[in-house]
Amino acid sequence: MTDPAQNPRFFALIPCAGTGSRANTALPKQYQPLAGFPMVLHTLAAFAAVPRIADLLVVVAPEDHFFEQQSAPCLIANCGGATRAASVFNGLLELFEQGATPADWVLVHDAARCLVTPAQINALIDACEHDEVGGLLAHKLADTLKCESGGRVAATLERSDKWLAQTPQMFRIGALIEALRQAGDQVTDEAGAMEAMGHRPKLVPGDAQNFKVTYLQDFALAEIILRSRT
């Protein structure tokens, strides 16, 4: 019998229970059409094109019926919580129900980062599969960084060591569950929960195009990029 700790699998988890209030759209932003398809389907297609991903789990809100009308290469769990951290935590427990082990890896990815590519996902796995902690895609900051107070510049910050955190973020399922359990609901990403446990996640260079569609103006840029790829 193979030892799961020596032969870990790779799972993907997509929290998809948000309402997208900052985008001010009629539908939750992850279901808004982009380049002919709902945004989240572009996200799922990227992960479906990575053969090493054993299973792809999408966590939606309990009352969400979107995927009942869609054919998508994923498992659906109606266990979304009030926060991203709660949705991820519940999704990790669901992965255990589906047969995952604490030693398996999970790649957590934002549904609204619909421009991620299979190459970027594979690069993260390659960089982290033998790492003690795991890591995340991130983009080195290029712009000058200002600190604000009362609508005015308070300071200019050193940027040489600053990175913009992206997703996927890849950690062992057991370690991430414990980190989220201790960090609570307000942690904004999985790396932050691991950092609170004293870990130092690995930074894996990503791409500026792997941005999170957040505001209304982001949709036009994402549409242009998606259409340019086809």
Whole-angstrom Cα distance, residue 38 to residue 154? 41
Please tell me what DSSP assigns to residue 198: T
pLDDT at 9 over 60: yes
Whole-angstrom Cα distance, residue 159 to residue 107? 27
Spatial contact of 92 and 173, defined as CB atoms under 8 Å apart: yes
pTM of the model as a whole = 0.93
Q: What is the pLDDT of residues 186-228, one digit of tens each?
A: 899 999 999 999 999 999 999 999 999 999 899 999 999 999 9
Spatial contact of 62 and 79, defined as CB atoms under 8 Å apart: yes
Alpha-carbon Rg for the chain, nearest whole angstrom, is: 18
Edge-first strand listing for the sheet containing 53-59:
75-77, 53-59, 10-15, 105-108, 163-172, 134-140, 202-205
Interval 169-194 mean pLDDT? 96
Interval 35-55 mean pLDDT? 97
Q: Which range (5-9, 110-114, 158-162) has the least confidence?
A: 5-9
Q: What pLDDT shows up at residue 185?
A: 87
